[in-house]
Amino acid sequence: MEHTNIIIITRKLSFILIFFSFFYACFELQTSMSGPGLACDPSNGVTRSLPFCRTNLPIQVRVRDLIGRLTLQEKITHLVNNAAPVERLGIRRYEWWNEALHGVSNVGPGTRFGGAFPGATSFPQVITSAAAFNSSLWEAIGRVVSDEARAMYNGGAAGLTFWSPNVNVLRDPRWGRSQETPGEDPHVVAQYAVSYVKGLQGGDNPNNHLKLAACCKHYTAYDLDDWKGIDRYHFNARVSAQDLEDTYNVPFKACVEEGKVASVMCSYNQVNGKPTCADPNLLRGVIRGQWHLNGYIVSDCDSVGVMFEQQHFTETPEDTVAATIKAGLDLDCGPYLAIYTEKAVRTGKLSEGDVNNALSNTLTVQMRLGLFDGAQQPYGYLGPKDVCSPAHQQLALQAAREGIVLLKNTGRSLPLSPQRHRTVAVIGPNSDVTVTMIGNYAGVACGYTTPLHGIGRYAKTVHQPGCSGVACTTNQNFGFAEIAARHSDATVLVMGLDQSIEREAKDRVSLLLPGLQQELVARVARASRGPTILVLMSGGPVDVTFARDDPKISAILWAGYPGQAGGAAIADILFGTVNPGGRLPMTWYPENYVQKVAMTNMEMRAGGGYPGRTYRFYKGPVVFPFGAGMSYTNFKQSLAQAPTTLSVPLLATSANMTTKLNDEVKVAHTNCDSLNLELHVDVKNTGEMDGTHTVMLFSAPPRLAKNTAHPERQLVAFEKVHVMAGAKKRVRLNVNACKHLSVVDEFGVRRIPMGEHSIHIGNDLKHSVSLQTSNLEQIKV
């Protein structure tokens, strides 16, 4: 979603749309500063006593009352992100589009920096926070972001509906938006979604109230932006029912069912020949019917227009509009529904009842947010002092420290010592960057600590960028970098990517470091007098095999895009103030992987020469595997307690439907609540430095008679723990047989295989649990 999307609409009509957007945007500027509350101002004698303003009535009663007062034309102006005012009812204009991917952002037109709110805390980009493998951290970030958003809303600088997080599973390493995601593992992405959404929305508020309305996007099977001329506006993702159920939809389901998110956004692409925002099965059927969304469904920006203009989905715009609303779309980011819905209703393609349904979903969310509560605003105490507060900025630093991953450390060359490494050469195009560290969908940061500044707190620095930008095409300054390295006690190269290489609407075609970076790294490493440390900034993985295998390069750190305090966190890790504990949330493939695999292939599973995707299915060579990440200390795990058997009851009604009793049981045919396993793992820090360790549990199903290519192993639980040197801590992890030990068949049906399941604890421990169906006769009684 981005403003420039509008550019892609090429027909004449698009000029009208652009005019509409600009017109709306200008209008919004003037009215958005008029203070909180959208309606029901207590000084307005006309509306004060109307039922929709009465906070003591149930929300559905208020919503029904308001809908009953609106004309069709008024209703239609509320189907788009820039909802028009209804002055006779005291309702102001509302801009639905706000973003808060990793801090309050001004990418959406509903949020503006300036005046009392010059900036907001800019946390690490999501891929970095994901590498922390700490769900409490994800929720804590969400809480801080929602405090800052509420404060800005109170000051008239933001809305309350935020279209974050992005929970698409990172399927292909080239994706320009890899940085926005929590990585490639469906369980991690689902946990991230649930935790961040809870933080943003305020958890379990009384009476269903919301602090903010978050949005899980982009539903579904979306992770191709623009690759070799194939773009997201035309792409038809061919997805099997199996992959949809056990990969692409996993985070969305968790976000709705467990995170109780207030919104889901459908994507630009088609899935199996249908635009997602016009697919009644995907929207009404799955999101509402199966997962019971309590909230609204919004389109990606201009995607309703894209459907007609780019995908030629229907004969007329009215048919497109009717198809989306009937499928379950409630709100259009873009002007299309405002322009064509009236004609769709007049020509009988849509009923006013359909429009009412959509409206009741959006209005309910606005009322849950308190937007119709007049001056009685919850969180009214939050103001400018709560934005960029020291505590908030400290959390941004903590998140970066937790997310940075140590990938190589030959001969314990790290941590550096301020006593022995008094002079440090700081080299590379990312060595003194600011906005590069916050990635995309960012706002204006409170301030920055660049790597150069961070390292400068520990040592005297000699700065030589070597390359002027990440895609540097000349080596004319490499000599200066070599000289700096030759005369320093240690060399830190800060290399990698930025938004010119990977971003929304731009996928990569190569995984290698761009430009002449590889040459710079190799030459500087040869020239260095002291240890050479390579620090990488990137959202997606980079093939740095050359550096991994180069004995002259002592250590490699991956920082992702580490946020406003990124340089401080990098320096803290380099000098051992902080012991690194991050783990890679995605596989780092070698370059030849992307030369072999088309980005358009949505298959997760390997087969017929196709290598498959992510650690769950891909078994070929890697540069660094999913979960990689070292520490300055050593940990030893042992299993303290774990059940060895589990009986799976068959529901009486389904008993005669399950033919192969000793083979597998459909998840729908058992009582999932009774199928929890608790494992206790002891983690001992056997080294000399305090540190954090992430316990990762992977499950592997029994060998099945009818093998439908299930993941060999997949992550089912993780828990991060801080352990002091020499000490031991016990970690409890929960596994649910329905969620974590089930496999998905080719029809998308989840089944629990009976027999011996293996649970791997990291790479070194393995435990078996035997699953059997319980006695049928007993159950039937």
Which residues have C-beta within 8 Å of that of residue 67, sequence separation ≥ 6?
Answer: 75, 356, 359, 360, 363
Residue number with CB closer to ligand NAG (440 or 692): 692
Tokens of 691: 């540190």
Closest CA to 543 of 621, 487, 596, 491: 621
Distance (Å, whole) CA 236 – CA 595: 21
Choices 358-366, 509-517, 654-662, 743-751; region in contact with ligand NAG by CB under 6 A: 654-662
Tokens of 132: 């922390």
Question: Closest separation between CB of residue 731 and ligand NAG, Å?
Answer: 10
Residue number with CB closer to ligand NAG (521 or 570): 570
Choices 64-72, 94-102, 230-238, 716-724; region in contact with ligand NAG by CB under 6 A: 716-724
3-state percent helix, strand, coil for the chain, nearest multiple of 5: 35, 20, 45
Q: Does 720 bind ligand NAG (CB under 6 A)?
A: yes
Residue number with CB closer to ligand NAG (136 or 468): 136
Choices 429-437, 599-607, 717-725, 747-755; region in contact with ligand NAG by CB under 6 A: 717-725
Q: Does 724 bind ligand NAG (CB under 6 A)?
A: no
Query: Is 331:80 a contact under the CB 8 Å cutoff?
Result: yes
Which residues have C-beta within 8 Å of that of residue 185, sequence separation ≥ 6?
Answer: 169, 585, 614, 615, 616, 626, 714, 715
Choices 46-54, 186-194, 306-314, 652-660; region in contact with ligand NAG by CB under 6 A: 652-660
Q: Does 653 bind ligand NAG (CB under 6 A)?
A: yes
Question: Closest separation between CB of residue 206 and ligand NAG, Å?
Answer: 24
Q: Which of 347, 656, 686, 775 binds ligand NAG (CB under 6 A)?
A: 656
Residue number with CB closer to ligand NAG (692 or 714): 692
Question: Closest separation between CB of residue 119 and ligand NAG, Å?
Answer: 22
Number of residues this chain uses to bind ligand NAG (CB under 6 A): 13
Question: Closest separation between CB of residue 765 and ligand NAG, Å?
Answer: 20
CA dihedral 258, 263, 269, 271 (to 10 degrees): 50
Distance (Å, whole) CA 301 – CA 163: 11
Question: Closest separation between CB of residue 142 and ligand NAG, Å?
Answer: 11
Q: Which of residues 126-185 bind ligand NAG (CB under 6 A)?
A: 134, 136-137, 140
Choices 498-506, 625-633, 715-723, 768-776; region in contact with ligand NAG by CB under 6 A: 715-723
50-70 residues labelled b (16+ CB within 10 A) or e (exposed): bebbeeeeebeebbbebbeeb
Q: Which of residues 733-772 bind ligand NAG (CB under 6 A)?
A: none
Q: Given phi > 0 = left and psi -120 to 50 = alpha, else beta, which region is 713?
A: beta
Which residues have C-beta within 8 Å of that of residue 269, sequence separation ≥ 6?
Answer: 221, 222, 224, 232, 235, 236, 237, 275, 276
Which residues have C-beta within 8 Å of that of residue 526, sequence separation ≥ 6?
Answer: 482, 552
Which residues have C-beta within 8 Å of that of residue 191, sequence separation ≥ 6?
Answer: 135, 138, 182, 254, 718
Query: Which SS3 state, helix, strand or coil, does residue 14 take?
Result: helix
Q: Does 657 bind ligand NAG (CB under 6 A)?
A: yes
Tokens of 601: 């292939």
Cis? peptide before 220, omega within 30° of 0 = yes
Question: Closest separation between CB of residue 650 and ligand NAG, Å?
Answer: 11
Residue number with CB closer to ligand NAG (139 or 302): 139
Q: Does 729 bind ligand NAG (CB under 6 A)?
A: no
The yes-or-no answer on residue 300 being catalytic is yes
Q: Does 73 bind ligand NAG (CB under 6 A)?
A: no
Question: Closest separation between CB of residue 394 and ligand NAG, Å?
Answer: 10
Binding characters for ligand NAG, 384-403, by CB under 6 A (x = yes): ------------------x-
Q: Does 721 bind ligand NAG (CB under 6 A)?
A: yes
Q: Which of residues 352-391 bind ligand NAG (CB under 6 A)?
A: none
Q: Given phi > 0 = left and psi -120 to 50 = alpha, else beta, which region is 313?
A: alpha
Question: Closest separation between CB of residue 547 and ligand NAG, Å?
Answer: 28
Residue with structure tokens 């974590």? Answer: 740
Residue number with CB closer to ligand NAG (202 or 305): 202
Question: Closest separation between CB of residue 653 and ligand NAG, Å?
Answer: 5
Choices 183-191, 484-492, 563-571, 714-722; region in contact with ligand NAG by CB under 6 A: 714-722
Query: Which SS3 state, helix, strand or coil, does residue 319 take?
Result: helix
Question: Closest separation between CB of residue 259 and ligand NAG, Å?
Answer: 18
Tokens of 760: 């791997």
Q: Which helix (H) or strand (E) holds 23?
A: helix 13-32
Q: Which of residues 91-110 bind ligand NAG (CB under 6 A)?
A: none
Distance (Å, whole) CA 81 – CA 3: 13
Q: What is the largest CA-CA distance in the chain?
A: 83
Q: Which of residues 666-705 bind ligand NAG (CB under 6 A)?
A: 692
Binding characters for ligand NAG, 601-640, by CB under 6 A (x = yes): ----------------------------------------
Residue number with CB closer to ligand NAG (497 or 683): 683
Q: Does 731 bind ligand NAG (CB under 6 A)?
A: no
Residue number with CB closer to ligand NAG (362 or 694): 694
Catalytic pick among 41, 172, 246, 300: 300
Query: Is 615:251 a contact under the CB 8 Å cutoff?
Result: no
DSSP H stretches of helix in 258-316: 303-309
Query: Which SS3 state, helix, strand or coil, does residue 219 take?
Result: strand
Tokens of 686: 């056997």
Q: Does 707 bind ligand NAG (CB under 6 A)?
A: no
Question: Closest separation between CB of residue 692 and ligand NAG, Å?
Answer: 4
Residues carrying an active site annotation: 300
- Chain contacts with ligand NAG (rule: CB under 6 A): 134, 136-137, 140, 402, 653-654, 656-657, 692, 720-722
